[in-house]
Structure 1
Amino acid sequence: MTKKALFIAKNWPEPNSTAAGRRTLDVLQIIEEMGFSIHIACTAEATPFQADFDQLGYVTHAIDVNCSSFDQWVAKLQPALVIYDRFVMEEQFGWRVREQVPNALTLLDTSDLHCLRIAREKAFKHNKAINLFNETAVREISAISRCDFTLMISKAEIDILKTEFNIPSFKCLYLPFLVSKLPKPSQIRFKDRQHLVMIGGFKHEPNRDATRWLREALWPAIRPSLPKGTEMHVFGAYADHAMNQLNAPKVGFFVKGRTESSLKTVEQYRLNLAPLRFGAGQKGKILEGWLTGTPTLTTPIGAESMLGDQPNIYELSDKPELFAKQVAHYYLNEGQWQELQSDGYQRIAKDFLKENQIGAFTSTLENALTNVAIHRSQDFWQQLMWQNQLGAMKYMSRWIEAKNKPD
């Protein structure tokens, strides 16, 4: 009988809307290649932009929070592997999975370390020191401790989990963005490209801040150094009124909204910008620049977890004057532009090829799946977390369920 893997999703994956959506499908494809049939359960409404799961051969299920109908359903499904889409899904369904299918191996997919991203955002906006030990950290690290493994996209964040939160190394599985094969060099030459691009979904606060900063501080510093008529185009799904208000055609700044194909879009531009001032995880917008041969300029936060151990060829900065200087330099200098383009291709080959990255991930999962009890026997903190927290979460959910029942 084919083993079943259950992915409990916060939102239906939208591969053309977010890098996180594309990564989710990459992870599920690897699990499928390990011999699992894939089931996706989600509490959110379907969207017109979600992946075509029928074409992929994945079975989808609508589920409700705080509802015991999930218990009977998951007990009947009997997945051997359960993947939680971020810690909030583990909070909602982890105790139910533990009760109904106690031998299922559990994997938390963080996407990025939420407590780190939130800590950086608060520190930036309030001009304070970063406080990693925030309320989100309590919840997120608890979920990590309860799961058998945590899937991490950033080596920098694995180091934070180990040094700041004492999470054992064996619980952390590293899996970066994955590229199936090396991209062919772009046929669109320097002289055939014009304008600058930024891309990123507007539900993500780091992207919203980057767009505001780009419009208010960076673009006024960049524009005077570029040829007359050069434009800045910002693409992203779910642009709201606040983001659309930044659209300013008179100064060559355009908020374009959703694009059907981010790769085809980015490839048309001379430079790709990723001006992030806070955030976490790997940055899909940077990888898209490298994949399309579109030289990409970013900040220290943007570069974190993307550069590996290979030094960067330009000075990373979040100062508007220096950032603007770098943009003008690469926009106007074909030789330097080609060097930066080549650097992107080299980084893909070194750090993002699927065939070079999935071996440790799949072998670790396969070994644990052969005997879940042995794997868990080395994880004292997981045992402690379940002993002390299962009851609290369980009875809170039971109380909500009872409260929601009609009289």
Structure 2
Amino acid sequence: MTDPHTTKVLVIGYVWPEPRSSAASGHVMQILDVFLQQSWDVTFSSPASFGEQRADLTALGIREVPIELNNSSFDTFISELKPDIVLFDQFMMEEQFGWRVEKHCPDALRVLESCDLQSLRHARHQRLKERLKANDDNNDFHDLFAPALREEFEHMADTDLAKREVASFYRCDLTLLVSEVEIELLVEQFRIPRHLLHWNPLMVDLPDSAPVPFEARANFIHIGNFRHAPNWDAVLWLKTAIWPLIREQLPAAQLHIYGAYTPPKATALHNPAQGFHIMNWAEDALKVMSAARICLAPLRFGAGIKGKIVDAMLTGTPNVTTPVGAEAMHGEEPWPGAVTRTARDFADQAVQLHNDKALWLQAQANAQTLLASRYQQSLHGPALIQRLLDCQRDLASIRRDNFTGSMLRHHHHKSTQYMAQWIEAKNRLN
């Protein structure tokens, strides 16, 4: 029987976690692990169907409870569970279930986990589409990468997605963000109070063994879930612009591209004669990353921080990326590889790292320093727990001072509640 004083946590997931398929799910699993280390009682629920590679949460001692959208059965479930903390995984879950949580468990701390700022990623994607449509030269994006925060805000502010997402941040008692850049954007441009946000990057344990040496490695690697639009765009840029430039200098070079949910349009790019290999899903991403000499992450848009680059650092694999890939990932620390803005520079830097052992070893050393300074679970896990406990203690004052959030909850929850009840009634008739 659960100790009545044990903190109860309900996590409402957009999907069931697949940590071997996406960094977003990996971050959720890291947060769950932090909760379990506190011996908290954790329940995970989601309205999504089970994915191919979902984690076995029950083996970790986490209760799994499927839930339905627009169904009052959730009201009974949460009323009986009586969680102390409810964590919404992505803002859409807060939109759907926030009003039910507030109605039936008003004293529960409501926390939102944002793996990336989706409205920022979407706005950047739209800019890239416009750029590609207007200019056939897709090799030079020098003026597109990482503009000032004010410019990012101007591209986002009028979008429905930004209004929904930022409103959800206000409605919650605390929002977890992986990117310091996104925190600054929200505070400086969207005027969200800083005390409603908490920096919680990817949290890892430092490697306890030496990485695979330079001489034992071969080939280039790219890895990323194909359902994530920035990853698919990166593969296209590799195929059309970057990889041919690398092969000009290294005619025997091989590129292995791994990703979950590989679509036919990706497998159609497989071309061994060009050294371009679509490898599908990697059962062990760290293992295949350890075998590669260079990780390529040519991200032309995106948000958050990049799991593939953290994996590269964990395995001592130098990487080449763009300002989008490196954003919010290294602070004042030197980059463990190279950050580039054009296809030509990207290819040149990749070849140089591939061939120059001294440069490669320096990049590897930079990765170890960076992991220790910014990504240790032993630092960020306790900081997260302390922040949650502080918020629980000060919950009344947090909510009183967040009048904008209270106002948004009042209007949003009423409209969402009536819509959900209408949909549920309509479903009964059908």
TM-score of the superposition, structure 2-length normalised?
0.91
2:68 aligned with 1:43, yes or no?
A: no
CA distance in 2, matches of 1:405, 1:55: 36
- Structure 2 portions without partners, runs of 5+: 135-150
Shift of 1:3: 2.1
Q: 1:179 aligns with which of 193, 204, 210?
A: 204
Spell out the pairing of 1:266-345 with structure 2 (5 A cutoff).
266-312=289-335, 316-345=339-368
2:374 aligned with 1:351, yes or no?
A: yes
String of CA shifts for 1:34-89, please: whole Å, max 9, x gaps: 34211000111123411111210000001100111111111111001000010111
CA distance in 2, matches of 1:144, 1:13: 22
Q: SS of the residue aligned with 2:313?
A: helix
Q: SS of the residue aligned with 1:26?
A: helix
Aligned partner of 2:125 in structure 1 is 121
Equivalent position amino acid for 2:170 in 1: S
Aligned partner of 1:107 in structure 2 is 111
Shift of 1:402: 1.4
CA distance in 1, matches of 2:274, 2:370: 34
Shift of 1:313: 6.8
Aligned partner of 2:164 in structure 1 is 139
Shift of 1:161: 0.7
Equivalent position amino acid for 1:102 in 2: P
C-alpha change, 1:183 and 1:122, in structure 2 (3 Å) is farther
C-alpha change, 1:375 and 1:32, in structure 2 (3 Å) is farther
**TM-align CA RMSD:** 1.5
Aligned partner of 2:421 in structure 1 is 398
String of CA shifts for 1:208-256, please: whole Å, max 9, x gaps: 0000110111001111112x42201100000101111111111110111
Shift of 1:302: 0.2
Identity of aligned pairs, percent?
35
TM-score of the superposition, structure 1-length normalised?
0.96
CA distance in 1, matches of 2:418, 2:267: 44
String of CA shifts for 1:139-171, please: whole Å, max 9, x gaps: 101111110000000000000110111111101
2:396 aligned with 1:373, yes or no?
A: yes
Quick check: 1:182–1:353 contact (8 Å CA) kept in 2? no
- Structure 1 portions without partners, runs of 5+: none
2:214 aligned with 1:193, yes or no?
A: no
Aligned partner of 1:30 in structure 2 is 34
2:78 aligned with 1:74, yes or no?
A: yes
Q: 2:236 aligns with which of 206, 209, 212?
A: 212
C-alpha change, 1:35 and 1:189, in structure 2 (3 Å) is closer
Shift of 1:182: 4.0
CA distance in 2, matches of 1:313, 1:175: 21
Quick check: 2:319–2:338 contact (8 Å CA) kept in 1? no
Shift of 1:315: 5.4
CA distance in 1, matches of 2:208, 2:186: 33
Larger mean CA deviation between 254-263 and 355-364 belongs to: 355-364
Shift of 1:31: 2.0
